[in-house]
């Protein structure tokens, strides 16, 4: 008999149907991957198993976990199963732990709730659980607080909480989406090891085909609350039938059609840039500590080129981006756009600033929700000495919107009326409206679903061709950088450790760190 068996599960929240007739099963020791875009219902399937649904949700069908009918059990019995029979790991390790309680306390709580153990015994077993997730006692005593740990370490604590009682099923909802590639690889290895050691079943939810393909025994593909395809992995990748699954796979490996029109003259020249931050003083009169975020970085970006900047969080790539945009002054070195410094005196140089624009990661947070689209995308006009007015302004708005594939009439809408992909198009329109020569894309497609991401990459390639744009493409996602850039830089701890033509860097990495990054990135299986 299956460990978890979901049959004909439907879910409504209010008047919205979230899940329709979902069926899947997990056997002991088996890893089942559930793949889908945001809104496909994959997380809600997980929460249905846990019975941690939002208020007003109504589930029908059957969810059997080790012989328990989860939809029929009263809340008190569900509490006894959660954490004991089934453990869960979440997407956001930074916020998944209580910030004001120690990690030992929080892991021990799982044990104390379910078993009649003394506090000291629970603490001892919490120690064992933390050891199992590779947080050794000398560096991670039980008295640590979550804010003293990194994202990957916090995710390990969450995993320790979930497996402390050796549950028979582990549900992992996008457990590595918020993490860097190398950390992601470590966490996936850890999960695989725990599944093997304990003979647990695991339901692994992800939007990333490659992550799931690496570890799952079986794959379930969901869309709009329905299962569209399921099969064993990796065989399923050779025999996908549903058009959605096929397009999903294509989008995951999509390479936009683009040729380089690079001129030799450099557009952006970065020379020996140093940016250090002063830390708060540790003692009243002692010298404050310093962090060298960028340590002597030099590179050129040629006109018409698409240059990638790859690195993990904390490597200094965001600091460098802000310095290039003239948002922060650097302590040493120079940044020149077409020979002109981005910073003159102690103020950003407006004449240079208007020739470059930026698109950020978060399509939800980077717009003022109370302004209409026309006002939002006209914001860069403040960089011009004589911004267009009246008809000229209207024409500029219409041109910017149509060039990113939106209608000119969208200018009257508010930002909440658009999807994530459309918002990112608006962000690009905002960048385009003053006809810049360089656009910085700071993780610009990282928050998007694969299919939307593929469309935006196509759009960027097309715009680059039409307007002769140069791109600086900053990302932690190697697969995207590989398909959209001509040349790439690998950054680590404030320094550029490797640079070269993108294809050469990926196929023949020279620096050990580049090799480590590429090895850690999950791959889709080769399909005949």
Partner 1 sequence: MLRYTLTRLLSLAISLAVASVVIFLAIEILPGDPAAFMLGVNAQEDTLAALRDQLGLNGTLWERYVSWVGGMLTGDFGTSYTYRTPVAGMIADRLWISLPLAIYALLLSTLIAFPAGIWAASRRGSAADVGVMGTTQLGVAIPNFWFAMLLVVVFAINLQWFSAGGFPGWDEGFWLSIKSLTLPAIALALPQASILARVMRSALLDTLSEDFVRTARAKGLSRRQALWRHALRNALIPVLTIIGLQFSFLLAGGIIIENVFYLPGLGRLIFQAISARDMIVVESVVMLLVFAVILVNFLVEIAYALVDPRLRHRA
Residues that bind partner 1 (CB under 8 A): 50, 52, 75-76, 79-84, 87-88, 90, 92, 95-101, 109-110, 113-114, 145, 147, 158, 161-162, 280-282, 284
Least distance (Å) between residue 79 CB and partner 1 = 5
Beta carbon nearer to partner 1, 78 or 255 = 78
Rounded least distance, CB 14 to partner 1, Å:
14
CB 334 within 8 A of CB 449: no
| Beta pairing partners, 357 | 439
- How is residue 236 written in tokens? 């399923």
- Distance (Å, whole) CA 82 – CA 162: 9
**Which is closer to partner 1, CB of 58 or CB of 241?**
58
Return the number of the residue (167 or 348) whose C-beta is nearest partner 1: 167
End-to-end CA, the chain: 35
The residue (of 96 and 440) whose beta carbon lies closer to partner 1 is: 96
* 493-495-501 Cα angle (round to 5): 120
Q: How far is the CB of 303 from partner 1 (least distance, A)?
A: 45
Are 449 and 284 a contacting pair, CB within 8 Å? no
**Of the two residues 107 and 358, which places its CB atom closer to partner 1 in the complex?**
107
Nearest approach in angstroms of CB 92 to partner 1 is 6
Closest distance between partner 1 and the C-beta of residue 83, in Å? 3
Least separation in angstroms between CB 55 and partner 1:
8
CB of 82 to partner 1, least distance (A): 4
Nearer to partner 1, 163 or 337 (CB): 163
* 61, 21 contact by CB (below 8 A): yes
Residues recorded for the chain: 528
Q: How far is the CB of 56 from partner 1 (least distance, A)?
A: 10
Based on CB atoms, which residue is closest to partner 1, 55 or 257? 55
Count of H-run helices and E-run strands, the chain: 17, 22
Name which of 81 and 320 has its Cβ closer to partner 1: 81
The residue (of 98 and 278) whose beta carbon lies closer to partner 1 is: 98
Q: Least distance (Å) from partner 1 to the CB of residue 70?
A: 14
If phi > 0 it is left, if psi is from -120 to 50 it is alpha, else beta; for residue 224 that is left
Task: Quote the radius of gyration of the chain (alpha carbons, Å).
Answer: 25
Q: Give the position of tokens 């198009």.
A: 425
Residue whose CB is less far from partner 1, 50 or 433? 50
Q: What's the CA gap between 474 and 314, in Å, rounded?
A: 13
How wide is the angle at C-alpha 3 spanned by C-alphas 195 and 225, nearest 5°?
A: 95
Least spacing, CB of residue 281 vs partner 1, in Å = 7
- DSSP strand pairing (31-35 vs 218-223): parallel
CB of 85 to partner 1, least distance (A): 9
Instruction: Output the DSSP codes for 27-67.
Output: -TT-EEEEE--TTSSHHHHHHHHHT-PPTTEEEEEEEEETT
- List strands edge to edge, sheet with 226-232: 86-89, 169-173, 201-206, 31-35, 218-223, 226-232
Of 15, 67, 11, the residue nearest 41 (C-alpha): 11
180: its two tokens: 């860097």
- Residue 47 or residue 471: which is nearer to partner 1 going by CB? 47
Measured between alpha carbons, how far is 414 from 402 in angstroms, rounded to an integer? 17
- Separation CA 27–CA 215 (nearest Å): 15
């Amino acid at each position: 008999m299956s460990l978890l068996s979901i049959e004909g599960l439907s879910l409504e929240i209010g008047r919205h149907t979230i899940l329709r007739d979902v069926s899947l099963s997990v056997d002991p020791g088996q890893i089942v991957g559930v793949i889908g875009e945001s809104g496909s219902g994959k997380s809600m399937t997980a929460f249905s198993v846990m019975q941690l649904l939002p208020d007003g949700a109504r589930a029908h069908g059957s969810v059997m976990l080790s012989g328990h009918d989860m939809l029929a059990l009263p809340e008190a019995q569900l509490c006894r199963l959660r954490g004991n029979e089934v453990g869960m790991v979440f997407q956001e390790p930074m916020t998944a732990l209580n910030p004001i309680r120690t990690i030992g306390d929080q892991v021990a709580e799982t044990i104390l709730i379910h078993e009649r153990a003394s506090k000291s015994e629970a603490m001892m077993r919490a120690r064992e659980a933390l050891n199992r997730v590779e947080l050794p006692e000398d560096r991670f005593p039980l008295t640590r607080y979550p804010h003293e740990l990194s994202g990957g370490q916090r995710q390990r604590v969450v995993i320790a909480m979930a497996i402390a009682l050796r549950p028979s099923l582990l549900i992992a909802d996008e457990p590595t989406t918020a993490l860097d590639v190398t950390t992601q690889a470590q966490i996936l290895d850890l999960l695989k090891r725990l599944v093997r050691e304990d003979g647990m079943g695991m339901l692994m939810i992800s939007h990333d085909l490659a992550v799931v393909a690496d570890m799952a025994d079986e794959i379930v593909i969901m869309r709009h609350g329905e299962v569209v395809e399921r099969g064993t992995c990796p065989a399923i990748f050779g025999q996908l039938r549903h058009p959605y699954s096929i397009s999903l796979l294509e989008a995951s490996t999509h390479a936009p059609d683009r040729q380089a029109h690079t001129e030799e003259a450099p557009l952006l020249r970065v020379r020996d840039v140093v940016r250090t931050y002063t830390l708060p003083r540790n003692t009243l009169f002692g010298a404050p500590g310093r962090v060298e975020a960028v340590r002597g970085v030099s590179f050129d970006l040629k006109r018409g080129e698409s240059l990638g900047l790859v690195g993990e969080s904390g490597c200094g790539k965001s600091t460098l981006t802000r310095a290039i945009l003239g948002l922060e002054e650097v302590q040493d070195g120079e940044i020149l756009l077409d020979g002109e410094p981005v910073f003159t005196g102690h103020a950003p140089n407006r004449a240079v600033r208007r020739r470059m624009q930026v698109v950020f990661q978060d399509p939800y947070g980077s717009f003022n929700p109370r302004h209409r689209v026309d006002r939002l995308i006209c914001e860069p006009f403040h960089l011009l000495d004589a911004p267009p007015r009246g008809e000229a302004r209207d024409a500029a708005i219409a041109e910017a919107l149509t060039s990113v594939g939106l209608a000119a009439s969208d200018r009257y809408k508010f930002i909440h009326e658009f999807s994530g992909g459309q918002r990112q198009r608006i962000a690009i329109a905002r960048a385009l409206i003053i006809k810049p020569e360089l656009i910085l894309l700071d993780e610009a497609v990282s928050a998007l679903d694969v299919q939307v991401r593929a469309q935006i990459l196509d759009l960027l390639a097309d715009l680059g061709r039409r307007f002769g744009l140069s791109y600086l493409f900053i990302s932690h996602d190697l697969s995207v950088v590989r398909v959209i850039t001509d040349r790439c830089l690998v950054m680590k701890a404030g320094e550029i450790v490797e640079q070269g033509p993108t294809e050469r860097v990926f196929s023949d990495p020279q620096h050990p760190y580049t090799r480590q990054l590429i090895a850690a990135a999950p791959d889709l299986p080769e399909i005949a």
